[in-house]
Structure 1
Amino acid sequence: MSVKAVTHLNFRGDAGEALAFYRSVFGGDVAVVTYEDAGNVQDPAEADQVMWGQVSTDSGLCVMAYDVPSNMPWNQGENAFFVSLRGDTTDEITEYWEKLSEGATVLRSLAAAQWAPLYGMLRDRFGVTWVLDVVSEYGAS
């Protein structure tokens, strides 16, 4: 088994710019999936915003980012980041989900998603938002 925790930064419309900046600082590769790429456009004005993005380097540094949709609350000082926990297997992620969910508020139930075999989001009893998923290759259509 292999699991990795990654800082997941939240923005309101400038995640792409932030990812480009972090790449200029750290080098590495940038991967971006827009809401349009994923077929998850809620507001046409936000279609080109980042639904999922990351900068990853050969040295192991990884930073993820996304643009919080306008229909969701966002306050830079309150929910500027998530902890993203990514694993190789559904069993592994399910085990962590079950433990983290004790006393938590489930924001999105752990289930298959268009972009991952398993994905879920919760706010633990300490107020930390966790995004858990099983790593998969994303194939934009």
Structure 2
Amino acid sequence: MPAPSLYLHLPGTAADALAFYRGVFGGTVERHTFAQFGRTDGPGTAIAHGELSGAVDLCVADTGDEEEPFAARGLMVALLGTAEPTTLRTWFAGLAEGGEVVEDLRRRPWGASDGQVRDRYGVRWLIGYQHGSEVAEQAASTGG
């Protein structure tokens, strides 16, 4: 069974969001416009469905005339241990561009590292990882 994925309805910024998230996570993008889907509840060039496939899968769409754009309170997307520590730190920095660091990505008293960031689209992300051997930690912290 495939894992759940995030699906955001955005107020006319879906194309920008796809480019942003692809820049952060990599992967491939697929887009379909309102016109391609025969929708008349918004501009024909608006994104009716866009999908990023890769290390992180997510979907975005521009809102139609009667749809509410994405807004969240009390929601966080967790990417705990979903990639190597170096990759997770890169994702954290990328998501913070144009957004807000809620809690720095740092080592916690329980031994793992994590942090929270709210990206430019209002999505709050929890990113973290467990620490391995001291050799692996040193290599990760020096980029090796």
TM-score (norm 2): 0.46
Asked which structure has the greater CA Rg, the reply is 2
Higher relative contact order (CA 8 A, sep 6+): 1
TM-score (norm 1): 0.46
More strand by share: 1
